[in-house]
Amino acid sequence: MPPGPRARRSFVDVAHIEVQAGHGGRGALSFRREAFVPRGGPDGGDGGRGGSVVLYASREVASLVAYASRRHWKAADGRPGGGARKTGRAGADLRLPVPVGTVVIDDRTGAVLADLDLPGAEVVVAAGGAGGRGNARFRSPIRRAPEIAEPGLPGQERELRLELKLIADVGLVGAPNAGKSSLLRAVSAATPRVADYPFTTLDPQLGVAELVDGRRLVVADIPGLIEGAAEGAGLGLRFLRHVERTRVLVYVVDGAVADPWAQLRAVRREVGRYARELLRRPSLVVVNKLDLPEVRALRSRSRRRGVLWCSALTGEGVPELLEAAGRSVAAAPPPARLEPAPPVRQLRPRTAPEPPVVERCSWGYRVSGPVVERLVARTRFDSEAALQRFQVALDRIGVSAALEEAGAEPGDTVRIGEMEFEYRP
């Protein structure tokens, strides 16, 4: 009995990663100091924007294996601003290549962010944080020497699921040992592993077949289906997704089994249970192993029309199969692509920002809300002038009044975002 196939890590079609964009650089707190220039004024420059994380489709990548061994990816932070109004250098974007046909999904919400089905297609999956403003930005007729500068905003963080769905003109579908790998070898220069045991092919294989008129077809060998594959039995659920991208399906039947047509019905049933629309996809049926006497006898007494017969071993019938596949591909529409849901934008009158929410806890009070949380992110708490501006802003947006109304007493703990303060009315 031949040995079973060993597990391999050469091909990965699903990966879960976490991406983090770079933080923006902090703005500079600086004053112009130059001989014979008294009271030169503020000249602190802005911080640089943090780098973004970008995924792009590349033909040079065939698998998601690089993202199976490394989960966390982070772009570079922006550099701080400098004196003389010098803006900090922006952080470099982190550009990650993925195979053509990769679908990018937000792992938390399940929303499709992008379908990278063309070479060069790209999507920004995490935007870099904006740089903080330097003190030159805060100069006014009233405040001529501001000692205020902002820290940069944090970059976006996201958990992503990457799913690779192979893009091919023709997909070979069939039961284990039907001879799909041998057929792929016969029609192209691909060299998949071939042996006489189930699931010889653990990974999808791609090959390029050339027709007599010079046209080329990309052919995919989809690993074998077994009963219950649509529910995840065997290798089915992992690999059935690759059938979705093919324009024409070729059902490969093992002519040497006791009932080849029952095998064909079982494979069609599993494909239909996975996605009913795949049964409406243009398809061909080919019975393999014509080099065996019992298969030749089956052909002589068969009354089925439209069935092709071939031998992947000797090449008999393979040119006719390629020509039939070429005609089907030429007439077939391209498979539908996944469109990311567009953001919903509604025109509405401008209203006042949402008031802060104050929640009483066992340890004190928690204040939340987009306006107050952004204020905390934009404040440098190592500057006395920035703290005074922060306190004025809290009064202006109603945080102080909301805390007083909630019953806060002097000395109580107040948390806003990740910062903790002592309440002093």
Q: Report pLDDT digits (tens) over 235-292.
A: 445 556 677 778 899 999 999 999 999 999 988 888 887 778 888 889 999 999 999 9
Q: Are 207 and 188 in contact (CB under 8 A)?
A: yes
Quickly tell me which residue has 């294996």 as its tokens. Answer: 65
pLDDT-based confidence at residue 410 (cuts at 50, 70, 90): confident
Instruction: Tell if the pTM clears 0.85, that is, is over it.
Output: no
357-422 CATH pick, 3.90.850.10, 3.20.20.80, 3.30.2040.10, 3.30.300.350 = 3.30.300.350
Quickly tell me which residue has 């109004």 as its tokens. Answer: 85
Per-residue confidence (pLDDT) for residue 194, from 0 to 100: 43
Q: Are 308 and 273 in contact (CB under 8 A)?
A: no
CATH number for region 10-164: 2.70.210.12
Please tell me which residue, 381 or 337, carries the higher pLDDT value: 381
- Strand partners for 20: 74, 157
Q: Are 211 and 170 in contact (CB under 8 A)?
A: no
Q: Which tokens sit at 335?
A: 């498979």
On the question of pLDDT at 321 being above 90, the answer is: yes
Per-residue confidence (pLDDT) for residue 318, from 0 to 100: 92
Q: In whole angstroms, give the CA distance from residue 260 to residue 307.
A: 12
Per-residue confidence (pLDDT) for residue 76, from 0 to 100: 97
Taking the CA atoms of the chain, what radius of gyration do you get in angstroms?
A: 32
Instruction: Name the nearest CA neighbour of 170 among 343, 324, 309, 363.
Output: 324
Q: Are 321 and 310 in contact (CB under 8 A)?
A: yes
Burial class (CB in 10 A: 0-12, 13-18, 19+), 373: middle
On the question of pLDDT at 339 being above 90, the answer is: no
CATH class of 170-331: alpha beta
Q: Where in the chain is the domain with CATH 3.30.300.350?
A: 357-422
Q: Where in the chain is the domain with CATH 3.40.50.300?
A: 170-331
What are the pLDDT digits (tens) for 29-63? 998 887 776 667 899 999 999 999 999 999 888 88
Q: Where in the chain is the domain with CATH 2.70.210.12?
A: 10-164
CA distances from 409 to 164, 372, 404, 406 (A): 57, 20, 8, 9
Q: β-strands 157-164, 170-174: how paired? A: unpaired
Residues above pLDDT 90, as percent of the chain: 41
